[in-house]
Structure 1
Amino acid sequence: MCHVFLYPSPVHLQGKTSEDLTIEFKEIARISKKDKAELILDCVQNDGNTLREYQESRDFITTSLVRDLEHQKEELAGLDKEIEKILLSFDYKLTSMPGIGTSIASKLIAEIGDIRRFHNADKLARFAGVAPVKFSSAGKGKEQSSRQGNRQLHGLFYFLAVTMVSKPKNGIPNHPVFYDYYMRKIGEGKTKSQALVCIMRRLVNIVYGMMKNKTEYREPIREEEQ
């Protein structure tokens, strides 16, 4: 048996078509599909009488929660606008880079601070704990990311690295240049974790250059195009 919690009761769905429901869903999530709306309407129809005891109270509680969520959504939208104003005052153009939105850009700036205190990208990489550190075992050396440094900043670069090399369901990498670089490192014998460190290090270089020179993101050239 299907259960629908998106509306207080099936009464609110009476007379609605799958097209109507899909439009409403897209106000919440852009990727909503018509087949999901059709499934919900089908479930409501097959469930028959789904009214429960104290239905009016249940409806009131549900609509109250919805209003509260809508208010929070408006508050977050207002916060984003204020953050965008602050970002403009810094004149950094980090959001021009795919994968970096207002939230990530503001966190990067907050953790890095004045970019001028880092003489080069290597200094920033060490500060973020991204600079690879060599370990030796039984005569064999391997590289791992340092566990020292700013862990919040390290986490931001890790999140960005994973985003860059991820492949959605359509099979197309989010960022082909970084994905190719990632796969090349794995082909050279590095583990996935070590390859991600390489991506993080490259991202540090890019972010450092963008902040240092206050420039927009420029797509790296793929090796076969060089």
Structure 2
Amino acid sequence: MHKEQHTAVLIDCWMKKLGEITFENRPQKFDGFIREAKKLSEDKTLIFGLEDTRGFGRNLATYLKAHKYIVKDIYPALGNAMRLSSPTVEKNDAYDAFCVARILRDMVDKLPDTKNEDIFFTIRQIVKRRDSIKKRGIILQSQLHDALMYNYPSYRKFFCDIDSKTALCFWENYPSPGCLSGIKLEDLAETLRKASNNACSTKKAQAILSLIAEDGEVKKAYQQERDFIIQGIVKEIRYLKQELTAIDTELRRLIQETGYKLQTMPGIDVITEAQIISDIGDINRFPNADKLARFAGVAPVLFSSAGKGREQRSRQGNRNLNGVLYFLAIQMIQVSRGGKARHPVFHEYYKRKLAEGKRKPQALVCIQRRVLNIIYAMMKNKTEYQAPNL
């Protein structure tokens, strides 16, 4: 399945190749694809398997299900394993489609039915959009650091965060020391007070002016053009912040529609819940928590031969979901400065695993697994978090 076109290979139960079809990824072309498939199959029963990794086959899957066809999901790992099993490895659309057809024939009773849950797909798209905005924001912050360093050597002492609301207002109005020429102390203080909702006082304005005076200034050519760059960066950062606020609002609304209540669990906010839902999707596609654990890469994997071997930590599975679970597990075993555990049950479980001889990374995986079991139950039953007993 590709962005612009799809390739299909038809085989029968004896693995005889009946034909090959390449068609454009446009709904208008789907009717022609079905007519050609029926012609090649000589009116045999058609069952479709889709290896859709990036959502390019969603329209086709929706079309096929609307026309009452059986549509199965083919995991990319299965297709890749089938390709590599050949003595001579090939890689082209026709051979990939043939491998998918073979998998469909051999595992038709085990493969999951395609379920195009629009709400989970939409949440996944919004989460990706949010991630790209965050990455862009990090790049812009780095650019702002570089630009400010030449104008204000002590700029880090002006504000705690260079991208705070007050800081952005200052950089936009006074991108270089020359812009402060003729500005009175009270005028600067008033600008800062408005931007910070009266959090900044005249004392802050005086401190900034003192730091600038201590640094000194060397007048350079094309300063106005460099000021223009800083002002442009500030405007873009401000726009991205507004976009993130709008995205978070939209995620809250969509999550509420799913009925999940993961935010009732300590350590999970709206963003973390959105990431979990984005990676898991419809929880009903996992018959039990063990299947979800394998999907997340927190279930041990057995490596053995000739009766020798042992279970090892999995490096497979969905690494995005695994990363979310890792940071959740870290929060669960944290201890305050006073030595009090934030979550006594998980902290006690962690210490028990260490006492059993497990190393810290292994014990942390056990915490991940336990957290995942709780998340599975909460999503399956759509219930709130209930702290386990000690």
1:54 maps onto 2:222 in alignment: yes
Listed one character per residue, the Cα deviations across residues 74-117 of structure 1 (whole Å, up to 9, x for unaligned) are 01111111111111110101122222222221221122222123
Aligned to 1:165: 333
Aligned to 1:183: 351
Aligned to 2:155: 4
Distance 1:126 1:62, change over 3 A: same
Listed one character per residue, the Cα deviations across residues 38-95 of structure 1 (whole Å, up to 9, x for unaligned) are 9866533421336543333222221211111000110111111111111111010112
Alignment-mate amino acid for residue 242 of structure 2? E
Aligned to 1:32: none
8 Å CA contact 1:132–1:144 kept in 2: the answer is yes
Listed one character per residue, the Cα deviations across residues 122-169 of structure 1 (whole Å, up to 9, x for unaligned) are 222122221234668xxx987543233333322221232223334577
Aligned to 2:251: 83
The alpha-carbon deviation at position 198 of structure 1 amounts to 0.5
After TM superposition, the structure 1 = structure 2 runs for residues 1-226 of structure 1, keeping only pairs within 5 Å, are 2-4=153-155, 6=162, 7=171, 8-10=175-177, 11=180, 15=185, 24=196, 43-49=211-217, 52-133=220-301, 144-166=312-334, 174-221=342-389, 223=390
8 Å CA contact 1:144–1:194 kept in 2: the answer is no
Distance 1:217 1:41, change over 3 A: farther
Q: Report which structure shows greater RCO (CA 8 Å, sep ≥6).
A: 1
Distance 1:61 1:170, change over 3 A: farther
Identity of aligned residues (%): 49
SS at structure 2 position matched to 1:149: coil
Larger radius of gyration between Structure 1 and Structure 2: 2
Distance 1:48 1:202, change over 3 A: same
Distance in 2 (CA, whole Å) between partners of 1:73 and 1:208 is: 33
Where does structure 1 lack aligned partners over 5 or more consecutive residues? 28-35
Distance in 2 (CA, whole Å) between partners of 1:63 and 1:157 is: 39
Alignment-mate amino acid for residue 371 of structure 2? L
Listed one character per residue, the Cα deviations across residues 172-223 of structure 1 (whole Å, up to 9, x for unaligned) are 65544433332332233211110111110111111011101111122233x3
Distance in 1 (CA, whole Å) between partners of 2:380 and 2:184 is: 58
TM-score, normalised to structure 2's length? 0.45
Range that drifts further, 118-127 or 143-152? 143-152
Where does structure 2 lack aligned partners over 5 or more consecutive residues? 1-151, 157-161, 163-170
Distance in 2 (CA, whole Å) between partners of 1:115 and 1:156 is: 17
8 Å CA contact 1:9–1:51 kept in 2: the answer is no
8 Å CA contact 1:115–1:212 kept in 2: the answer is yes
The alpha-carbon deviation at position 37 of structure 1 amounts to 9.4
Aligned to 2:69: none
SS at structure 2 position matched to 1:219: coil
Aligned to 2:4: none
8 Å CA contact 1:115–1:208 kept in 2: the answer is yes
The alpha-carbon deviation at position 2 of structure 1 amounts to 4.4
TM-score, normalised to structure 1's length? 0.74
Alignment-mate amino acid for residue 213 of structure 1? N
8 Å CA contact 1:84–1:102 kept in 2: the answer is yes
The alpha-carbon deviation at position 24 of structure 1 amounts to 4.1
Q: CA RMSD in A?
A: 3.7
Range that drifts further, 168-177 or 100-109? 168-177
Alignment-mate amino acid for residue 264 of structure 2? S
Alignment-mate amino acid for residue 160 of structure 1? L
SS at structure 2 position matched to 1:88: helix
Distance in 2 (CA, whole Å) between partners of 1:37 and 1:176 is: 46
Alignment-mate amino acid for residue 184 of structure 1? R
